[in-house]
Amino acid sequence: MTQPVRGGMPVIFRLPDVLRTDNARTLPPLRLSLWHGIALGGFVLMTSIAAGGATGAAPPARVFVVLARWTPLLLRGFGFNILISFMAMGIGTVLGAFLGLGLISVSRAIREGAWALTQFFRNAPWLVLLFFMIYMLPFHVQFGGLRIIIPDWLKAVIGLALPVMANVAEVVRGGVQSIPPGQWEAAESLGFTRAQQLWEIILPQSIKRMIPPWMNLYAILTMATTLTAIVGVSEVVTLAGQVQAAEGNRTDLLAPLYGYVLLFFFFYSYPIASMTSRLERRYAVRI
Amino acid sequence: MSGGLNLVNLVKTTTLAYAIAVPELLYVSNQIWSDSINVPVMMVVLFIIYIALVGLLVFAMTSWERALRCPGLGT
């Protein structure tokens, strides 16, 4: 590369190609592909066969049989994971939308308050937030004579919704700020009020740019629902542990069993990941 | 900046070692609150420590990036 850059400065060293493209900063470092799923399936298959073949005199049940026997239970547990992720995402999105609007508020006090809240919940580890909610929320609430017991999984949903809220707030702020300032200025010059500018001009344009990172966040949240196993919610990882115990703690079952659970998650998040990257390409900011 | 973000996530992910009984901060805190029944205090302590850790990391990364910045290269 010998031609001078704009401004006549000579080029001192050449950048790697990947950094010279316009969208270098938005390049996804690693995407989930179908190959990951095939590799995972192969792993489960191989460990299952190896486990089945290595048994001694009185052969215990083949690993495939064991997996097939417990699949309905594991799927029910996985459904619970999905339910938790839906609820946490719903609550987190509603709260995060308001928090994100607070982040771009014209009032300095609201802006800084929202910023502090966002930073706090974004930088605290998810597991610590989960522990906090499990231990600090009351065991039951009293409405007059009515006593409602809060189940563990509901506390876990709240614990997961808080970091989701902070991340959604950042997504909203990023989406709004990705709209060129000319849009704001044009709306201003046409006599729209601040609320009209935001709701009728900026937000409709930025919503579609918020969708890919929002879906990304959802995939992350789905992975994070397994954390609730640690605080005692009986979801798929807890059930996998119980299956392992019910089968007499066979060590040859460990790899296929947890690989099998991993496959559930792959088949759930792979469509989300591929749709996210498709939407990202379609809504890419072109300048 | 993205390298800093990954490091922040890495620091946050170290809590997962709790699940396999590695005696890290969360695990030790759990032992403490089981022993002296002071869950609220330990929760606040945990939050303060993690926020301070992440804050320190972000501060270090930002100042490092500022020191490495080459005018005209990137944005």
Contacts of B46 in chain A (CB under 8 A): 128, 131-132
Q: What pLDDT is stored for residue A286 in this prediction? A: 58
Q: Which of B15, B29, B49 to mutate to test the interface with A (most CBs of A within 10 A)?
A: B15
**Which of A19, A124, A229 comes nearest B50 by C-beta?**
A124
* pLDDT digits 0-9 by tens, A185-222: 999 999 999 989 999 999 988 988 899 899 989 999 99
Cβ of A135 within 8 Å of Cβ of B51? The answer is no
> Tens of pLDDT along A146-157?
888 888 899 999
The model's confidence at residue A34, banded by pLDDT at 50, 70 and 90, is confident
Give A95's contacts (C-beta < 8 A, 6+ positions apart).
A161, A165, A168
SS3 category, B52: helix
Residue A285 confidence (pLDDT) = 59
Shortest CA gap B61–chain A (Å)? 15
Least confident of A84-98, A208-222, A246-260: A246-260
pLDDT band at A30 (very low <50, low <70, confident <90, very high): low
pLDDT band at A28 (very low <50, low <70, confident <90, very high): low
Cβ-based contacts of B33 with chain A (< 8 Å)? 135
Can you spell out the DSSP letters for A78-128?
HHHHHHHHHHHHHHHHHHHHHHHHHHT-SSHHHHHHHHHHHHHHHHS-HHH
Which residue matches tokens 């709209």?
A179
Non-local (6+) Cβ contacts of A148 within 8 A are A140, A141, A142
Q: Please, what is the end-to-end C-alpha distance for chain B in angstroms?
A: 11
pLDDT over threshold 90, residue A109: yes
Residue A70 CB-density burial (10 A; 0-12 exposed, 13-18 middle, 19+ buried)? buried
pTM for the whole structure: 0.81
Give the model confidence (pLDDT) of B7-64 as tens digits.
888 888 899 898 888 899 999 999 999 999 888 899 999 999 999 999 899 899 888 8
Give the pLDDT band of residue A57 (cuts 50, 70, 90).
Answer: very low
A136 and B40 within 8 Å at the Cβ level: the answer is yes
pLDDT (0 to 100) of residue A268: 92
**Interface with chain B: mutation pick from A9, A131, A134, highest number of B CBs within 10 Å:** A131
pLDDT at residue A251 is higher than 50: yes
- Nearest CB among B15, B47, B74 relative to A127 is that of B15
- pLDDT at residue A118 greater than cutoff 80: yes
**Confidence check: pLDDT of A61 > 80:** no
Contact A99, A166 (CB under 8 A): yes
Cα A28 to Cα A32, A119, A216, B61: the distances in Å are 10, 24, 12, 21
* CA–CA gap between residue A93 and residue A170 (Å, rounded): 11
A28 at interface of B, judged by CB pairs closer than 8 A: no
d(CA B22, CA A198): 49
Which residues in chain B are contacts of A229 at CB distance < 8 A?
Answer: 19
- Residues A68, B16: Cα–Cα separation, whole Å: 30
Using an 8 Å CB-CB cutoff, list chain B residues near A124.
12, 47, 50-51
Rounded to whole angstroms, how far apart are CA atoms A31 and B23?
33
Q: What is the Cα A3 distance to its own chain's centre?
A: 44
Chain B residues touching A216 at Cβ < 8 A: none
pLDDT in tens, A271-285: 988 888 888 888 775
Q: What does pLDDT average to over chain A?
A: 84
Are the CB atoms for B47 and A124 separated by under 8 Å?
A: yes
Residue in A19, A120, A135 nearest the CB of B43: A135
* Closest CA–CA distance from residue B64 to any residue of chain A (Å): 19
Within 8 A of A135 by CB-CB distance, chain B residues are 33, 39, 43
CB pairs under 8 A between A and B: 49
pLDDT at A41 (0 to 100):
86
Identify which has the larger pLDDT, B57 or A143. Answer: B57
Bridge-based pairing of strands A140-143 and A146-149 is antiparallel
Q: Which of residues 115-134 of A touch B (CB under 8 A)?
A: 120, 123-128, 131-132
pLDDT attached to residue A11: 58
The answer to whether A273 and A219 are in contact (CB under 8 A) is: yes
pLDDT band at A1; cut points 50, 70, 90? very low
Query: Which pLDDT score is estimated for A155?
Result: 92
